[in-house]
Structure 1
Amino acid sequence: MTTERYGYRAYPSGDQRRALSRSFGCARVVYNDFLAERARLREAGEHKDISFSKTASVVTTGAKATPDRAWLSEVSSVVLQQSVRQAERAYRNWFDSLSGKHLLRTPKTPLIRGKDFPG
């Protein structure tokens, strides 16, 4: 069985570029907020009591209700949910590396994403 790969290039208009930039920025903020909240819970010793889904609710739905994060409502919730899933997967990989199930060279907590992060 052979699989073929195709490459596509997109040329978004100015409005599309702004919408994509807004979506990527919101995804980065939610990802970083998730990591910060889990780190805060870990330092307080509450990380085992509060599930990932509860943390996800706090950093997405709860954040939209606050005045300083109300702009998260401007993008699709799918973008925010996927960002939370990526952060959760990063934590699961870290936990697996600590237990020996997932081999990483040096197990580290997931890293905060900067504005220049490619994905």
Structure 2
Amino acid sequence: MHKVTTRLVRENQAIAIEDLTVRNMLKNHSLARAISDAAWSELRRMLEYKTAWHGREILLVDRWFPSSKLCSTPGCAHMNEKMPLNVWTWTCPSCGAVHDRDVNAAKTILAAGLAER
């Protein structure tokens, strides 16, 4: 984790992440083990102190931001009403773009973080 966070901080001027409450997410018994194994809290802690050391910026996006449901295509910004956790890819009804859920969320989180700057 140290190597990954160091590389991220050295290669980027700003890093955008969701402000998740990991403690509350661990209460979901079907996801708790996977979340604990991923060590999200530790990843965030490392990113925070390393961005401070290197003079970089960490951009926190609100935990309620609809990152998975919002189309990341420039100029579209269509938002789906519901998106169950078992949906991994979806097609935007407005622009027709096909999105991978995680890649789309990463793009919208970055855009939201940069917009709040």
TM-score (norm 2): 0.30
Higher-helix-fraction structure = 1
Larger strand fraction of residues: 2
